[in-house]
Structure 1
């Protein structure tokens, strides 16, 4: 999830190493989720993600002896964040991955930052849509359309619906960013993440039981390893890295993660599952990268600085 953006012109070497680590972790999560989906249904895969991740984070909170809020209003905020940042996007993307390659899912996931600019501009007075950001947003959406394929936008088969489901998940992430900025300020990141994932688990449990029935208890080692990775590493540990980067450089730098994730996911999908992507997918990713670079503005500032 990409939240409130701040300007960051220089990235410390430690932040770069954390960015690379986060990109590798999240890039591999697409493969892990797709592997688990070979044995379990999409909603069950989400429940198996949020539950263990919440437990791991609460253990971390207990070890660190971090203060835990008892304000009912904040728990309502956790509920909204859990629905917007976990339950909805995780479910939509898991279903989408049943029908499209993991690499394409990771490319479309980069649209989170594009939606984030629009949502922030609509909600917050200090996040106006400047001409540069507007141009970057338009180019980014052109990249999304190119990655999907213009024909798929009019032929609503299961593949195009899966891609639209992934995009719906990215929109939910963007709304969650605004929700978190509005209602979860002042909390320690670990408590905020643990509360959010707990709320998401409480939502997903009855939904999963109603739609898919009881999640399977006896799973193969490969599936268990995949769940362990995307729940404990790609969710619990990744959130700790995410907030550490946020503290070091500001959230504008996290735009870079959305560009670093797809190469990892595409490579792993090709090596492990033999997936291939069309040339339009790579062209779309190039346009997305250009759009995000314009939104971030860092390259333009460096160019202007050199020309002075």
Structure 2
């Protein structure tokens, strides 16, 4: 397997920033929809509508979805790790904590990725900088959760753990998704296969468990949030996701989760009137130092400047 790039160029950073905006918006969209639908229904609508849009895009540009059973098994595995588990945990968690706080906890994804990639890949091994980043990241997450987590499993603590569980699932999903580089799938086909396979599982699950047809008809803004979640934060976002993953690797790709809280917090505070506590800002600052250590280049640039003076 061809090794991935250890650093990112201007194109990759631009795509990463765009992806952070799309995924940051997902926390806002979920916050709008979470009082109208159950978690499985929101996730089923998210992947189902995204699957329709992406399949139409595949047909429109003249591509064909593969029929190979092994490839669809891989799509299902990717959907399980990257859609079914994390989407459901995040939506459930956001019924108890704010979108901004959820997005900050989700920023722990790169630290779980660094650990998993060290043991499961040959070209994304742990370095001293990445180890320092992991330690700082864990410290940042602990500072955000706070001492109340040690006093018992309260509902909001379980919600926080659910978001961390989603982050772990994303980490393994990023590593699992590396295989599509060698399977001859374009980012569009891979994204389409992933959400289509997820839809096949999640729609029946939502219908059986939550019976959404028994709920009151949601308001227009809820449907708008669902469409934004499906078309922008899922369909378009995963095209960018697999494009970045193919060239820069799982560890670099999931640095996006530090950028996500910025857009999520801005949306949550300006539109939903949410507030973050001081410990959340401390946590995000520590996580930022951790991600800088994982990336390595900011500290390398600083060392070169200091040595030249």
Q: Same fold (TM over 0.5)?
A: yes
Q: CA deviation at 1:132?
A: 1.8
SS in 2 for 1:219: coil
| Counterpart pick for 2:191 among 193, 204, 216 | 193
Q: Secondary structure at the match of 2:5?
A: coil
Distance verdict in 2 for CA 1:141–1:178, change over 3 Å: same
Give the structure 1 partner of residue 285 of structure 2.
Answer: 286
User: How far off is 1:127 after superposition?
Assistant: 2.5
Q: Which runs of 5+ in 1 are unaligned?
A: none
Contact 1:135 1:294 in 2 (8 A): yes
- Alignment equivalent of 2:24, drawn from 2, 24, 27: 27
Match of 1:260 in 2: 259
Instruction: Give the whole-Å Cα distance in 2 for the aligned partners of 1:209 and 1:46.
Output: 12
Q: 1:259 to 1:5 in 2, by over 3 A?
A: farther
Counterpart contact for 2:124–2:251, Cα < 8 Å:
no
Cα deviation, residue 80, structure 1: 0.8
The Cα of 1:241 is off from its aligned counterpart by 3.1
Instruction: Specify which of 202, 206, 209 is matched with residue 207 of structure 2.
Output: 209
Cα distance in 2 for partners of 1:247, 1:42 equals 31
Matched residues in 1 for 2:78 and 2:68: separation?
16
* Deviation larger for 98-107 or 236-245: 236-245
Q: Do the aligned residues in 2 keep the contact of 1:136 with 1:291 (CA within 8 Å)? A: yes
CA offsets 1:147-198 (integer angstroms, 9 cap, x no match): 1113224421100000000100110111111221246633111111111101
Answering whether residue 297 of structure 2 is matched by residue 298 of structure 1, we say yes
The answer (yes or no) to whether the contact 1:255–1:292 under 8 Å persists in 2 is: no
**1:78 is the counterpart of 2:75:** yes
Listed as ranges, the matches of 1:106-121 within 5 Å are 106-121=103-118
1:165 and 2:162 matched:
yes
- 2:268 aligns to what SS in structure 1? helix
CA contact (8 A) 1:77 1:184 kept: no
1:133-152 equivalences under 5 Å are 133-152=130-149
1:97 paired to 2:99: no
- Residue 246 of structure 1 deviates from its aligned partner by 5.1
Contact (CA 8 Å) 2:87, 2:166: kept in 1 or not? yes
- The residue number in structure 2 matching 1:51 is 48
TM-score calculated relative to the size of structure 2: 0.90
**Quick one: distance in 2 between partners of 1:217 and 1:70?**
39
2 CA distance for matches of 1:198 and 1:168?
23
Whether 1:179 and 2:176 are equivalent positions in the alignment is yes
- The answer to whether 1:236 aligns with 2:219 is no
Q: Cα deviation per residue 1:239-263 (whole Å; 9 max; x = unaligned)? A: 2333455567666653553222212
Contact 1:83 1:203 in 2 (8 A): no
Taking structure 1 as the reference length, what is the TM-score of the superposition? 0.90
CA RMSD of superposed structures (Å)? 2.2
Number of aligned pairs? 303
- Rounded to whole Å, the distance in 2 between the matches of 1:74 and 1:255 is 24
1:206-257 CA-partner distances (Å, limit 9, x unpaired): 2212321245594321111000001001111122333455567666653553
3-state SS, counterpart of residue 122 of structure 2: coil
